[in-house]
Every structure is written in structure tokens, then in C-alpha cells.
Amino acid sequence: MIYRKKGLTNMGDVIFNIFPNENYIDLGLYQCGQESCEPGHIFGPVARNHYLFHYVHEGKGTLIAPDRKGKNQTYPIHAGQGFLIFPGQITTYFADDKDPWKYSWIEFDGLRVQAALDLAHITVDDPVYRSGDQKNREAMVREIDFILHQKSGGSSFSVIGHLYLFFDLYIRSASHPIVRPTNSLADFYVREAISFIENHYAEDITIEQISQALGINRGYFSKLFKRVTGKAPVQFLLQYRMTKAAGLLQMTDLKISEISAQVGYENQLHFSRAFKSIYNKAPKQYRIENRKY
């Protein structure tokens, strides 16, 4: 659904589009938007649950974000550049007092995000998007605009397809992309681990059981999984279960206790806490706001 806000206090024109969670594991979309900020408009300090990319169309502003050591760094950003906020980072960003920025943003997450960011050489220590490839940069911006203006009821496959195109252009338009060889054995173990999770997430499985099923040491498996996906196995398992739970809340009349059991939680209170840690809402409230029937 596309929302528009105009003339709000301390805000310029805003358009944003929120997307339902369709259980795409490799790459998923949460929201997209665009804002023409008032001079000095500030956002934060705040932390995000997912990756959030901003592209600056006009004007300029400043991002304040912690590096990998936790020390805040200041990044001036101008038109034609962008910046990426990582999950869990507490960031603040604000528009210039004389030449405030207009930017678009897109929020996403998924198994393949970290690999894409590695190729684009976007890191916590250098979150600024810079491009020396105007053609691909402009094509990337068109993909963001397409996603932003998708109407509710449209094909989710189309939206996710354009999200993949956005990522391809994002990588190719970066100033200094780094192409790293893939570790086929690592990819194999990760695919097998995800397959195991898909088949057993409703059971009381542990990371130790997953590594045993693969025939490798737990410590080695955990490091390998995080290197490939950007997430620790326990984080991925939690997110996978909660994604499945969100779908059941949206599409069924099952009781919360029944959904809890179906995603591997015998204790409903533990399930509710886990769900809220991902969606920032209790399961009951999430169902009320996202029911599909």
C-alpha cells in the first residue's frame, strides 16, 4: 500500500510503500520510500532491524554511524551518493540547513544480502555508496522508483524480481566493486543447513544437531555460516521460524499457541518474546494489522 504525507511538522513531502512479508529467504523487501526533507530535518538516533539503503537525489546531509569498533563516525553525503544502515546500528542522519536532501530509501534483508554488499564493497567502516558509473546508477534509481510505486495487490514475484535487479545494478554501479571467488564447499554446507532448517524448524532443533547432520564441527559450521550469510545460525533459525509464524498469523485462524508449536516453541510466552524481537509487535497485534483474509 502506498502512503503519502504532506505538510507535516518538520517534514517535507513523503511517499512510502510497505510490503507484506512473503517469506522470501534469499532476499526480502520490507518497505520503500522517498522524502524531500525540510532544512535541518533529523532522524534518529534509532536502530533498524534490517538493512536500510538511502540514495540522495538532490541536496546534501550528514550521516552519523558507528564503525565496527563502536566509535561514531561522521559522513557528509551529497546528491548522487547514498548510505547504508546495517541491522542493529544506532544511527542519526540530518539534512543540510541550506541545501536539504531529497532521498529515496529501501529496506531489505535476506540470506544473500551480505554477499552482495561484499561485492559492492559497502561495509560498516565505509557505508557510503559512491558511483562512477552513471548509466548503471540511473538504472538502479529507476528500480527503486518502480518498487516504490507498486500498487497493493500486484505480483510479489514482480517486486522481488525488481529488488534483485536493484541489487545487481547497486553492485555494478559501485565505484570499486570487489569480485571475490565463491567457496563452493561453503555454499554447499550453507544450502544443506538451510534445507535442514526448512525440514525441521517445527522441531526443537539445536545448532549442534544441524552441524552433526552436516558432519562438521559446530564452531567451524557457525563461522562458515555467518561468513556466507552474514547471520549466525541461531539468528537465521530464529528469523526463519518467525517468518513462518508471520505467514500463519496472516493467513490462518490458528490460535497463537498452535502457531507457537508449529514453529518449534512449546512455550507460548517464549514464542511471543521471540516474535516481538523480530517484528516489534506481539503476535496478536501483528495479526490484527496484517490479516490477509
Q: Please, what's the largest Cα pairwise distance for the chain? A: 60
Residue with cell 510505486: 149
pLDDT in tens, 115-154: 777 767 788 888 999 887 889 899 999 999 988 887 655 5
What local confidence, expressed as pLDDT, does residue 144 receive?
Answer: 92
- Where along the chain do its domains lie? 2-173, 184-290
Looking at CATH, the fold of the domain delimited by 184-290 is given as Arc Repressor Mutant, subunit A (1.10.10)
* Positions in the chain whose pLDDT score sits under 50: 1-12, 177-181
What pLDDT is stored for residue 209 in this prediction? 93
Closest CA to 205 of 220, 217, 193, 216: 193
pLDDT score at 153: 55
Of 153, 158, 129, nearest to 143 by C-alpha is 158
Interatomic CA distance for residues 105 and 117, integer angstroms: 16
Could you write out the DSSP letters of every residue in 21-60? ----SSSEEEEEEEEEPPTT-EEEEEE-SSEEEEEEEESE
State how far the Cα of 47 lies from the Cα of 88, in Å rounded to an integer: 5
pLDDT confidence of residue 22: 55
Q: Are 91 and 128 in contact (CB under 8 A)?
A: no
Listed in sequence order, the DSSP H helices in 149-232 are 156-173, 184-200, 207-214, 218-229
CA dist 250 and 241 (Å) reads 14
SS3 65: strand
Torsion angles phi and psi, residue 202, rounded to 5: -80, -10
CATH number of 2-173: 2.60.120.280
Q: Residue 265 is placed in which grid cell?
A: 516453541
